[in-house]
Amino acid sequence: MKNITLLLATLFTLCSCTGQKEQGEPKISVFAVHINTIAQQENISFVEAAVKVRQMGYAGADVYPYQEDVIAVLDSLGFGHSCAIVHINYLGDEHVEGVDANSPRGFFRGGWGDLENAAISFTKRHNYPHLMLVPNVLPENATPEDAETVRQRVSNFANRCVAEGIDLVVESFDNEASLCYGTERLQALLDRSKSLGVAFDIGNFTFAKEDPVEAYETLKDRVRHVHVKDRASLEDMTPVPAGTGVSKISTVLKKMEEKGYDGWYTIEVFGSKQMLTDLETAYRNTYSILRPE
């Protein structure tokens, strides 16, 4: 195993930065779990994978609270804190049976109240600008009362986050059983709490058979974070590198720039079998859209 300390020192010398790109540069970030995937696929350490991703130009990382052990590594390489993310099951006492560092749903055992507490603590401790909540999808036997319970608990959490000085956002989730599936359901949540924002996942509107451009026009005043995800085709919803699919990435990003959005753009390619290459392609395409020559 290579000497991690030496590797970190070398990288720090090469990129002595704070995580914020130079003025005028787009803030393009990545899911920290994608770095885990690169490490596995390329048979290298997390540190080595993070070095490669940082050298591509990525300036920030979206991180789950169960990944606290990677924060120091990401900080040392100059990754900014773009967004914290937590999945919470508001209908059950427990979230998952165990921890899987490669799964966005991996966390620790505990009730939804415990997960809220942990997410708030993590977000404040590491000074993330946003906390993204992914509430549970509804089970097949869910009742209208169950749906109302989830909506109310999300709204309550949003209000609690405001009191804690945290900006809570929800995304358009790619599952028909989710209360965040598509514009109409997202709007129903937003109507419950004026403080709740949107993490605009471009490819997930394609998944919901909506035009991402129209969805953005509807939700633009509540957009505070962005997931740059593309889909292979209207018939094949496989996530692909940004700019190589059908999700109108270029049009949406340009509209966001025109609107004055100055937050993070997080690249997402869950399920990639060649994560290193796909992140390179996605960064290059996204950067060229945001800062054309």
| 292: number of Cβ within 10 Å | 8
Q: Please state, rounded to an integer, the average pLDDT across all residues of the chain.
A: 88
Where residue 170 sits, what CATH number does that domain have? 3.20.20.150
Q: Does residue 279 lie within any of the structural domains? A: yes
Q: Does residue 21 lie within any of the structural domains? A: no
Q: Has residue 122 got a pLDDT over 90?
A: yes
Task: Name the more confident of 99 and 226.
Answer: 226
Report pLDDT for 93.
Answer: 54
Q: Has residue 5 got a pLDDT over 60?
A: no
Q: Does residue 15 lie within any of the structural domains? A: no
Number of domains forming the structure of the chain: 1
Q: Does residue 8 lie within any of the structural domains? A: no
Q: How far apart (Å, rounded) are the C-alpha atoms in residues 284 and 107?
A: 32
Task: Name the more confident of 245 and 18.
Answer: 245
Q: Does residue 9 lie within any of the structural domains? A: no
Q: Does residue 17 lie within any of the structural domains? A: no
Q: Which domain holds residue 252?
A: 27-290
Q: Does residue 19 lie within any of the structural domains? A: no
Q: Does residue 170 lie within any of the structural domains? A: yes
Q: Retrieve residue 246's tokens.
A: 């059908």
| 53: number of Cβ within 10 Å | 24
Report pLDDT for 281.
Answer: 98
| 83: number of Cβ within 10 Å | 26
Q: Has residue 4 got a pLDDT over 80?
A: no
* Residue 170 Cα distances to 28, 106, 179, 193, 235, angstroms: 19, 18, 10, 12, 26
% of the chain beyond a pLDDT of 90: 75
Residue 89: which pLDDT band, with cuts at 50, 70 and 90? confident
The model's pLDDT over 123-143, given as tens digits with 9 standing for 90+, comes to 999 999 999 999 988 888 889
> Length of the chain, please?
293
